[in-house]
């Protein structure tokens, strides 16, 4: 097969290295290599298919929402749940709707300190009246003695002693009143009414004539369950 000079187009022999007309060096041309075809009747290898075809990305898995957690003891299930804990600052009895003391027995006061100088627990009418009369008797006897001593020393000094005695008696009196209010299922701060004119009379009638809460309440067991 003859080649042609790329410069002048002169036909060249197959083994010629220079053009006889213009002297241009002959450059051998490399025929293109035909694409390798897969013989008929054969199957392409997996590697060939992997290189020739683009694999589709896998479909994303559907997102399943997590199940909702149910409380073990719901606060409400058609009706109030009495076993639920109280809210912060809430009395256990008021949170549940009944006394937090259940069938706990009432513990009687055993000494002077427990009888006159405590403001927790409850005090029924009989104990309240008897202890109040005891305080009145102590005040009368002590004021008579201190008054006579003050008369011998100085009248102003005797008046001061009786005034201090009144303050000393007021402390256990307020303690008894608070416990009596607890027996009526009332808060202790109601005792402030004892210092307000007219209201103190109504409060005295209330604590003297109204019976306490039957059974336990939020302040303690029923004091009528025992006697002392």
- What per-residue confidence (pLDDT) applies to 152? 81
pLDDT for residue 24: 74
> Is 181 within 8 Å of 187 (Cβ atoms)?
yes
- The mean pLDDT of 137-156, rounded to a whole number, is 85
Beta-carbon contacts of residue 188 (< 8 Å; ≥ 6 apart) = 119, 178, 181, 182
User: Token pair for residue 121?
Assistant: 């627990």
Confirm whether pTM is higher than 0.85: no
* Phi, psi torsion values for 80, nearest 5 degrees: -60, 140
Burial track 81-94 (b if 16+ CB lie within 10 A, e otherwise)? eeeeeeeeeeeebe
Give the other-Cβ count within 10 Å of 188's Cβ: 17
pLDDT tens digits for 6-60?
777 777 776 777 777 777 777 665 454 544 444 555 554 555 545 555 555 666 7
For 86-118, what is each residue's pLDDT tens digit? 434 444 444 343 445 556 777 888 899 989 999
Two structure tokens written together for 1: 């097969």
């Amino acid at each position: 097969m003859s080649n042609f000079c790329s410069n002048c187009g002169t036909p060249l022999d197959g083994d010629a290295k220079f053009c006889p007309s213009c002297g241009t060096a002959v450059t051998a041309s490399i025929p293109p290599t035909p694409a390798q075809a897969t013989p008929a009747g054969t199957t392409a290898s997996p590697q060939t298919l992997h290189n020739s075809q683009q694999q589709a990305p896998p479909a994303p898995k559907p997102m399943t929402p997590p199940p909702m957690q149910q409380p073990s003891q719901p606060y409400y299930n058609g009706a109030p749940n009495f076993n639920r804990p109280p809210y912060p600052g809430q009395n256990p009895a008021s949170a549940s709707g009944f006394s937090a003391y259940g069938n706990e027995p009432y513990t009687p006061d055993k000494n002077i300190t427990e009888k006159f100088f405590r403001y927790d627990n409850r005090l029924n009418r009989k104990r309240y009246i008897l202890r109040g009369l005891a305080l009145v008797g102590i005040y009368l006897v002590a004021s008579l003695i201190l008054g006579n001593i003050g008369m011998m020393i100085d009248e102003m000094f005797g008046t001061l002693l009786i005034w201090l005695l009144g303050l000393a008696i007021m402390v256990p009196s307020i303690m008894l009143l608070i416990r009596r209010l607890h027996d009526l299922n009332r808060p202790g701060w109601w005792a402030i009414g004892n210092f307000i004119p007219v209201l103190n009379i109504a409060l005295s009638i209330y604590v003297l004539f109204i019976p306490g809460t039957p059974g336990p309440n939020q302040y303690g067991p029923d004091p009528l369950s025992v006697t002392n």
